[in-house]
Structure 1
């Protein structure tokens, strides 16, 4: 589908990228985890740096700088942890510091400033990798050693900044980046609950983000105003609508299902304020998703006979099939809960 990835160089770096994540996850020491993170960084940079595109070169440099700073800090605090392991107060501080470096790695608040800027310079395929696969290693390492109170504060900030930051954007890539920051808040909540739920949430989120990235890649869209001009197939518009609403977590769709499980857990544990903030921020997310859809559905777009988008039928069928799976959320959730 993404024909640009099927050359031997990129396939080689992609393989190393996936392999490095497995190294970090299966390492039995912090030093092994750090080596995996470094290999991951050095394999992702060749994928994003494209000599033809200045924005991509700038993005690769910014990515390298932020990730290497996070890696240096990570290594420093691991060594620090070895020296002060028996001192309880220092241990608390070190756990916050190690958590901070991992949060910086995944582009979480308050270290999120690099994330939308870098996403802006990437292709849709690289955006997909950065928003899904690159979050796996830091989040699993975070689940090994986290400071609960610190993580709860970070979760709330993630959902708030992800929702508010996306309001002012016209670039679809930046919107997806802020959406990713918002979903990161929910994903961190699943770490506190169970690893299985985290994996389920990540799979669901990756599934929905992949549909969005494939759709935007095929339509060659990067900004909201491109949706006004498109003489699109109504089925593509409907599939975009369904997948955006699913990504926002609207009840009948499958994107709501993992969020429902998190809300259920938070209410059972009487964490009402956090639940309220999470739900309110989801409403703001839905507002700017609907704004994108509204522009493609309602505006009088330029209808010129020569300005048509032709997409192969089998690809439209593929997108519609994924969209059908996305709309089956209520049925799946009924099976799981009853």
Structure 2
């Protein structure tokens, strides 16, 4: 099975799944907090590995950060119960609750822990941290949003995520800053519609799954490792397609949810925000294309005798999905209209 998951980890993944359901289906803030705590305590055993000090350090950092966010969230909901209908503090409460959820997701300005923790995780844990762990905070944040505050946060997310992607040699840190950038898009989609957020999140999760799976299969963690070995052309092609889809380049399928968001922003006269989003996507594409260009055209003379051939049924499905992604924007455009 993918990422070699044993029975103990399957048990904790099962709890992780149901903790999210507990939070998003709860009728009270206290029930949401309980679900978040169960989520935290089920993800820590997935992160920690006894023989790997980086994993243990990352799990400790993650526990401390999430505990601080949970304490802030619990303190705010208890304070809100005391001051039941005080509209003077309502704006303050919404900012604190949103900030607690943003800290749990690794958003600006609470993002400093996110790339460091990503650097110490396996690709499987990186995928969970960048996708599944964002579901509960996003949905809870949608219950009590401060629109002016989140407008500012989503702009800084796309800017800092783009700036942080430069000069990164680690693929995990690069995907971490890419996740911060995409978090700005997801917050804007959440402000527009929950259905649009779900659409964006599903597309983003699919592309991230393919990237993490391919990097796991060829066992690389740094950009310079891409040049040291001879890979199958289809693997190179798959990495290229998914990098371009993550950047939102048409006609790839990753452009479709971004196109919907930009369409809404322009229609509602948010021209400056749409310009910032578009320009940061172009800069992210420059970062991705620089890696792809080096990956295809440059190569090291080291270990030229080593040729990687992989036979995996999931790889065939990924190659098929990449073929769909090439024509996906054209198909989705016809379907949309």
User: Is the 8 Å Cα contact of residues 105 and 134 (structure 2) preserved in structure 1?
Assistant: yes
In the TM superposition, what whole-angstrom CA distance separates every residue of 1:90-121 from its partner, at most 9, and x where no partner exists? 11111101110010011110000010000101
Q: Which residue of 1 aligns with 2:272?
A: 273
Q: Which residue of 2 aligns with 1:114?
A: 113
Say yes or no: does 1:134 pair with 2:133: yes
Change (3 A) 1:305 1:166: closer
SS, match of residue 167 in structure 1: coil
Q: Which residue of 2 aligns with 1:32?
A: 31
User: Is the 8 Å Cα contact of residues 118 and 172 (structure 2) preserved in structure 1?
Assistant: yes
Rounded to whole Å, the distance in 2 between the matches of 1:71 and 1:58 is 20
In the TM superposition, what whole-angstrom CA distance separates every residue of 1:140-171 from its partner, at most 9, and x where no partner exists? 00001010000000000100011100112110
Q: Which residue of 2 aligns with 1:290?
A: 289
In the TM superposition, what whole-angstrom CA distance separates every residue of 1:271-301 from its partner, at most 9, and x where no partner exists? 0110001011101111111121112101033
Tell me the CA shift for residue 190 of structure 1.
0.8
Rounded to whole Å, the distance in 2 between the matches of 1:141 and 1:315 is 34
Structure 1 segments unaligned to the other structure (5+ residues):
none
Q: Which residue of 2 aligns with 1:52?
A: 51
Tell me the CA shift for residue 334 of structure 1.
1.5
After TM superposition, the structure 1 = structure 2 runs for residues 71-86 of structure 1, keeping only pairs within 5 Å, are 71-86=70-85
User: Is the 8 Å Cα contact of residues 231 and 301 (structure 1) preserved in structure 2?
Assistant: no
Rounded to whole Å, the distance in 2 between the matches of 1:305 and 1:190 is 46
User: Is the 8 Å Cα contact of residues 19 and 35 (structure 2) preserved in structure 1?
Assistant: yes
Tell me the CA shift for residue 303 of structure 1.
6.5
User: Is the 8 Å Cα contact of residues 237 and 297 (structure 1) preserved in structure 2?
Assistant: yes
TM-score, normalisation: structure 1: 0.97
Rounded to whole Å, the distance in 1 between the matches of 2:121 and 2:103 is 19
SS, match of residue 88 in structure 2: helix
Change (3 A) 1:307 1:137: same
Larger displacement relative to structure 2 (326-335 or 38-47): 326-335
Tell me the CA shift for residue 3 of structure 1.
4.2
Rounded to whole Å, the distance in 2 between the matches of 1:85 and 1:241 is 53
Q: Which residue of 2 aligns with 1:205?
A: 204
In the TM superposition, what whole-angstrom CA distance separates every residue of 1:227-261 from its partner, at most 9, and x where no partner exists? 11120111111111111101100010000000000
TM-score, normalisation: structure 2: 0.97
Structure 2 segments unaligned to the other structure (5+ residues):
none
Q: Which residue of 2 aligns with 1:331?
A: 330
Tell me the CA shift for residue 133 of structure 1.
0.3
In the TM superposition, what whole-angstrom CA distance separates every residue of 1:4-50 from its partner, at most 9, and x where no partner exists? 21x11000000000000000000000000000000000000000000
Rounded to whole Å, the distance in 2 between the matches of 1:300 and 1:162 is 28
Rounded to whole Å, the distance in 2 between the matches of 1:325 and 1:33 is 38
| Runs of 4 or more consecutive aligned structure 1 residues displaced over 4 Å after TM superposition | none
